[in-house]
Amino acid sequence: MRFLSAAVLLILTTFAISQDKLCDAASASTVDHDAGVIVQKVTLSGKWGSNDATVYLPDKEIADGAVAFSHSAIHADDGSQVDLLPFALRLAHAGAVVIVPARALLWPPRDQVTNREGPVVICAEHWLIDHTKVFNNGEPTLNDNKVVRRGYAYVGPRLCDPALPDCKFMSPFYSEDCGLKHYCRENVWVSVGETGRDDSTHRILSDQGSKAANWIQRQLGLAPISTQ
């Protein structure tokens, strides 16, 4: 039994090291303030390249929730576009810490791998967990054994797993063995860039993310979102 435990520990440790190599260390710098929200920039990087992401931090020690976006804008082939940063900022004003990589989602996708580059979003999720504190340590809040509040949300498409040669879909919050629990988190998902019936891309192009923001607000137990 001791040998088995040591072997499992070695496998998990090796897996954690391989995951860490995906993302270089990164620090944020404050660039602005917006009515109780600190606006920061952080350069996410690794062997895959680099990306300048925007971080919105509520001016409090512990955020009420955390949200990772996959993209900062949606560009549709009919010429319509939407900037997702105001959507993200609304969530930050409601109490969530939010990270948004600077990249445009193309709609509709040209093939099954379009918009699904995994490393940049996984590194954004890693940075979010490593550098922020979330209510209840990000764990779901229970009442009478029912989940009444989540800690994390993801806005984007499923990603191609960067550890595999073919595009096997995965979520950034489940990019590692959940037995490790360092980066694996339960989360709610706003599907964007997908082609199934539950996709929210058309709605966000229409309302700039208003309905999606209100849904995330309820799921994460954030403060009501101002309509102004």
pLDDT tens string for the chain (228 positions)? 333 343 433 333 433 444 458 999 999 999 999 999 999 999 999 999 999 999 999 999 999 999 999 999 999 999 999 999 999 999 999 999 999 999 999 999 999 999 999 999 999 999 999 999 999 999 999 999 899 999 999 999 999 999 999 999 999 999 887 887 789 999 999 999 998 889 999 999 999 999 999 999 999 999 999 765
8 Å CB contact between 105 and 75: yes
158, two tokens: 């499923």
* Residue given tokens 């925007």 in the structure block: 54
> What is the number of residues in the chain?
228
Strand partners, 45: 50
Phi, psi (degrees; rounded to nearest 5) at 67: -135, 130
HSE-up (13 A, CA, CB side) for residue 90: 20
183, two tokens: 């980066």
Phi, psi (degrees; rounded to nearest 5) at 166: -95, 160
Q: What is the DSSP letter of 175?
A: S
Q: For the full predicted model, state whether its pTM sits above 0.85.
A: yes
| Cα 163 to Cα 97: distance, rounded to the nearest angstrom | 28
